Structure 1
Amino acid sequence: MKHATTLPLPADWRDFFALTKPRVMTLVIFTGLCGMLAAPGTIHPVLAFTAILCIAVGAGGSAALNQWWEADLDRGMKRTRNRPLPAGRMDRESARDFGFALAGASVMVMGVAIGWLAAAILAFSIFYYAWIYTVWLKPRTPQNIVIGGGAGAFPPLIGWVAVTGHITLMPVLLFLIIFFWTPPHFWALALYVQTDYAKVGIPMMPVVAGERSTRRQILIYAVLLLPLAVAPALIGGTGRIYGLSALVLSLAFLALAVRVGLRQSVPGDTMKPEKRLFAFSILYLFALFAMLVVDRFATLQGWQA
């Protein structure tokens, strides 16, 4: 007697939403919005909303393509095995098509509504994350997150260009801040989930170079981040409010990085300093870019000389 084949139920909207990595998207949207609000000039609110929507949709598309490509790897990692693809709630083709649709639509709408320079940067950021980082760098080099950090650094640059239509030193500095923030942020996480990466063969820095080297490089990047974070005030791109805030926040970030960089882990270590650095690094970036907007508003109101 033949048994009827039970087909899996189609994925619902929550699974498609999960493909976009909404937590990561929150940071992408925020930094893109801050880049837009801090830029000199004005943009119509409808166009501003459109630009931010395109940044968010483009980031969601690249995240979906990342999960489509890494479905087998995600299945082997505790941190990611409940995502829609490894959990079996969605077929890979649906994730792939969804990712390409979001990516293509975001670039086209950005180009038509905002401008083709902003659209070109958005398109390159999607390609950077979905191909350069996911396909090429991540499985091949422990420097994957360093070079790949550029993918998450584009939103404030895109937001700035959406308003001004051109690239200057100021948005490049915003790009570099996120670029140099990414390694200590992500390696702090990698230190306490390194067994997951080792199990699936991803050459993250703690797996390949060891904890000592990773800790040292976290500290190096935190040191380099401090002058970069303050640089917008030094070149006159912002006022004192941002400059002082960036200095205080970056010194706090560096203090936590010193604790991580100079300590030795022991068997059974809960790695609390690493978890604190990872948690603070998210708060750091939100606060830093928020102060960028506060500073711009204060300047427009004449509160800063």
Structure 2
Amino acid sequence: MAASLLLVGCGKMGSAMLEGWLASGVADRIVVVEPQSESPQGSGGADPRVIRCADAAGIPSGFRPDALVMAVKPQVMDAAVAPYAGSAGAGAVVLSIAAGKTIGYFEARLGAGAAVVRAMPNTPAAIGRGITVACANAQVTPAQRVLCESLLAAVGEVGWVEDESLIDAVTGVSGSGPAYVFLLCEALAEAGRAAGLPEDLATRLARATVSGAGELLHRSPESAGQLRRNVTSPNGTTQAALDVLMAPSGLAALMTEAVAAATRRSRELAS
């Protein structure tokens, strides 16, 4: 049965989720609150399932959502969450996609009995290829967990953890991870230019290589390691490059350090 949803915040991630819900039919009534601090997007258009309002006061009288999705930026969450204690108290599960805002944060503001799911999506959700990891508190019922999974699955893959502290590591790997891939593309293009390629060709080669390799990884049943070995001939050009990238101080060490730094920062923001 389709759900009734209250979406607070309709920026880039909120818009991506809204489009996914409408396409999948997971919800038949969605009230979207667009706080002034957000930049309203055009998601949903004139879809009759979507009702838009500027603040909590505009929510239709008697509307009882099955889920309250908090999608505002973390820095404005304090003001944004305050009006919704009633919805949480009336049985709606709270699904937050705000980085650094813990389950305890919402329990403190919405009541200890609030059912809360904390989720960390990533930006490929905008094309339905995201991955989200979620964690639920003890008040979330099996039915509410299924609902939250269906809401998150509308924009990509979903995983769950029982230990909320692991969300910080998830942030370091997948939440921030698209930026690492984009940096790889930038660096590969720059290396091509340094090797003498025209700028436009180097950029085109880098983009097509990164996106194509990602799609091959997505479609192939083989591991990333095996796909790498498939490209690597002994004593060939790829092996020469990998000898640099796989050196003790190479890419693996840098990536481990980078993810650790992002994880630490996520913990700092949560506290």
**TM-score, normalization by structure 1:** 0.26
TM-score, normalised via structure 2 length = 0.29
Q: Larger radius of gyration, structure 1 or 2?
A: 2
Ranked by relative contact order (alpha carbons within 8 Å, sequence separation 6 or more), the top structure is 1
More strand by share: 2
